[in-house]
Chains A and B, each alone.
Chain A
Amino acid sequence: MGDPATRGMAVGVETVLHTRVATLYSNLVTRPTGRAVRVAIEQQIQDSGGPCLAILDFSHVGVIDFSCADEVIAKLLRTYRRPDRPCEAFFLAHGVSEHHRDLIEAVLQRHNQLLVAVESGRPALWGPAPARLRTAWDCLNRLGCAFSAEFASARGVSPHAASSWLKRLANWRVAVREAGGRFASLWAILERRPGYGGEVMEMSPYGIAAERIAPYGPKDEASDRVAAGAEDVTTFPHESEEIDQLPAW
């Protein structure tokens, strides 16, 4: 997962939010329920104040239907992927069952969105990712964090292509662009959190869920912080042949 020393320099995401998706209802059905859950999560993100990684905890969710998954997952991803997003937020699903996966995958397909989910203690990429994008995501996930040159070397592509791939991952919101042009996987960001044990996470209820964790790296780097995804990466530089067709927004 990369060198812990270099990981400590990351500054893109400062806050990890634990959001219990099942606080209001154990069965997530109907659109109004989905809207209520989404609004609560958006409020937590807003309250967190800075770029954040929101962990969507499905541990206590029984049934989730298409309407509710659409209201929660698809609309959160869509809102925070838009260039005019309210703030910088990334999402990672946790505690998901096979049933949840079926439903969420269907919704992701419908909206052409990607989501990182923790399955059996490891990250997985859900949604209609083209094969090459998935390979790039796997590569960054193995590295944890990487500059273009490191990624190019690991992937065996040119630095220009590596840069494009990393920007694409950030554009899909499944990686975070950090200070100095380095990119981090969402999993790497989660692992930085002190005390994170990989499998078990302590979840906080709504209202006190925003857990601000200390910014990483020396304080004097703060001014260099580049808010994750702040740069508009919807327009790519000329892509090499290795880049898959960018899906339509």
Chain B
Amino acid sequence: MLTIGLTHYLIVAAVLFCTGLFTMITKRNAIGILIGVELVLNSANVNLVAFDRYLGSERMDGQIVALFAIVLAAAEAALAVGICINVYKNLATIDVDSASQLQG
């Protein structure tokens, strides 16, 4: 247990993932869902970097992919906030359950 290996990190990432998922399911606030998404993305990044650290041959590709993921997450957050604002403008609320016009 004292030697920290790949599995340790992966488990932390799994926890992050599941909490993110839980956040997405239970939060009715759109921003809350966004926060859950960020957690999930982070868990993926942790996975990438951990694999890179322990299994990668050159130990860089994983980091760079994670870097791109961060950049894209930032972009995604910006867009998502924009969408939230629009939803708020149109529906006067940010409750995602009320934004269900597309239901079957």
The answer to whether A binds B is: no
